Amino acid sequence: MFNNKTMLDRFSALETPFYFYDLDLLEQTLDAAKKAADKRGFHIHYALKANFNEHILALIQSKGFGADCVSGNEVQKSIDMGFDASKITFAGVGKSDKEIIAALQHHIFAFNVESIQEMEVINDLAQRLGVTANVSLRINPNIDAHTHHYITTGLDENKFGVPNSELEKAASVLRGCEAVNLVGLHFHVGSQILDMNVFKSLCVKVNEWKNWFEERGTYIKVLNVGGGLGVDYKAPDENPIPDFEAYFDVFDKFLERNSKQEVHFELGRALVAQCGSLVSKVLYTKSGIKKHFLIVDAGMTELMRPALYQAYHKIERIGEDKGEEVLNYDVVGPICESSDCFGKEVELPRCQRGDLIAIRTAGAYGEVMASRYNLREEIRYVYSEV
């Protein structure tokens, strides 16, 4: 994508670092996801935590997607951007009273309840406002997603959701909550999952718990199976759009549901990751005894993922390959932390001061996690046209 003179000429005139968003690719991705979901009657809520850039949100909202929020400000942002309140879910283990009240006043679709105490608090606040709160009870399916331990969420030992051992109590408390209406069950096993067998295992657990509630006289309208579908960080140009057909097909085949039950998904990374790249300029080249370094003007303040959980991003030089010698570089940023490194032993044509590089697949958990550490300037962004 970036190995051409056109990109180099366009970006050379811009101040770095910045995020570049390919809105055409984003639209293609959204259309592919929507087509695959619609044909099966599935509902998609976009996870704002992945990227809440307004241009991206506007395009997602225009496609009719719902919103999956994990803070009161994300709920408000969704409302401000025109998302239908009846398609907004609110998850998170630590919802404050202020956040809950605001969401109740917006009459959102449902709270994904993560603990018994939270359910009791929502009930009390809803009673004070004279409204009924729709909730989905989040259950930990205790499935290992085989991903980084910082982004796995579905094990009993994680902080998320109600553990299986407390479900009897949760069902009992629910029956006594007059201002709470149980509309569904919610599950989420983790992120960046590429093995479809993980989702098959999830379906088995969802079936078990749906039946458990229905055997006790509680009808479940919504099965919210979360998200977690991964993307190809190593070959973004070869696989720019995830295989939504294969993903949704797993749930279509293995999830037991009747004609009136809805299946909801909360997708973030799979929708926006590939459309974004972080563009940076080489400030200095430096060689040690055994290593070559590229010191660039972007740092962990602009893209936290490699420093936070050793995430891999493909790194490439922008412009035409003119047959230069290929070297292995440690690509590092200017931040005064040893963890400020985007990649080690990265194969690149010999680079020099002023060259531009692209750090790929940065549309999810990139811009949203940017910080002002070291009093860095706020990150900028540019777009392609749709």
172 and 254 together in one domain: yes
Query: What pLDDT sits at residue 148?
Result: 44
**CA–CA separation, 267 and 207 (whole Å):** 21
| Cβ partners under 8 Å of residue 259, min gap 6 | none
Beta bridge partners, 349, equal 326
Phi/psi for 316 (5° steps) reads -140, 150
Q: Report which of 309, 226, 262 is spatially closest to residue 49, judged by C-alpha positions.
A: 226
The reply to whether 80 and 38 lie within a common domain is yes
Stretch among 3-7, 126-130, 224-228 having the lowest mean pLDDT? 3-7
Are 251 and 191 found together in one domain?
yes
Quick one: which of 72, 23, 70 has its CA closest to 45? 70
In this predicted structure, what is the pLDDT of residue 154? 42
The pLDDT-based confidence of 340 (bands split at 50, 70, 90) is very high
Q: What local confidence, expressed as pLDDT, does residue 165 receive?
A: 86
pLDDT in tens, 75-112: 999 999 999 999 999 999 999 999 999 999 999 999 99
What percent of the chain is modeled with pLDDT above 90?
Answer: 87
Question: Domain range for residue 373?
Answer: 5-19+274-383
Confidence label for 153 from pLDDT (cuts 50, 70 and 90): very low
Q: What value does the mean pLDDT take over residues 284-291?
A: 92
| Pair 217, 297 in one domain | no
263 burial type by CB count under 10 A (0-12 exposed, 13-18 middle, 19+ buried): buried
Q: How confident is the model at residue 146 (pLDDT cuts 50, 70, 90)?
A: low
Is the per-residue pLDDT at 137 higher than 70? yes
Note whether 69 and 160 are same-domain residues.
yes
- Residues 301, 311, single domain; the answer is yes
| Amino acid at residue number 361 | T
Rounded Cα gap, residues 83 and 77, in angstroms: 9
pLDDT of 235 higher than 90: yes
The residue among 273, 288, 318 that closes a domain is: 273
Please give the Cα distance from 270 to 193 (Å, whole number). 10
Q: Average of pLDDT values for 332-336?
A: 97
**19/368 Cα distance (integer angstroms):** 11
Q: Report the domain count for the chain.
A: 2
CATH code at position 113: 3.20.20.10
Same-domain pairing of 141 and 279? no
385 — pLDDT class (breaks 50, 70, 90): low
pLDDT at 149 over 70: no
Among 216, 243, 273, residue at a domain's last position: 273
Same domain? 207 vs 281: no
| Predicted confidence band of residue 144 (pLDDT cuts 50, 70, 90) | low
Cα–Cα distance measured from residue 20 to residue 17, given in angstroms and rounded to the nearest whole number: 10
292 and 218 within one domain: no
Tell me the per-residue pLDDT of 47-82, one tens digit each, with 9 for 90 and over.
999 999 999 999 999 999 999 999 999 999 999 999
More confident residue, 143 or 90: 90
- Could you tell me which of 234, 229, 258 has the C-alpha nearest to residue 245? 229
16-55 core/surface letters (b: 16 or more CB in 10 A; e: else): bbbbbbbbebbbbbbebbbebbeeeebbbbbbbbbbbbee
- CA distance linking residue 128 with residue 142, whole number of Å: 35
Helix (H) / strand (E) element for 69: namely: strand 66-69
The single residue listed with the structure tokens 């392609």 is 384
Q: How far is the C-alpha of 251 from the C-alpha of 273, rounded, in Å?
A: 23
Averaged pLDDT for residues 190-212: 95
Which of 221, 250, 273 is a domain's end point?
A: 273
Q: Are residues 265 and 379 in the same domain?
A: no
Residue 319 and residue 286 share a domain: yes
C-alpha 119, offset from chain centre = 25
Residue 362 clears pLDDT 60, i.e. is over it: yes
Q: Can you give the pTM of this predicted structure?
A: 0.94
Query: Percent of the chain beyond pLDDT 70?
Result: 96
CATH code of the domain containing 299? 2.40.37.10
Q: Which tokens belong to 296? A: 């660039």
What's the mean per-residue pLDDT of the chain? Answer: 94
Residues 2-24: what's their mean pLDDT? 94
Q: Are residues 14 and 30 in the same domain?
A: no
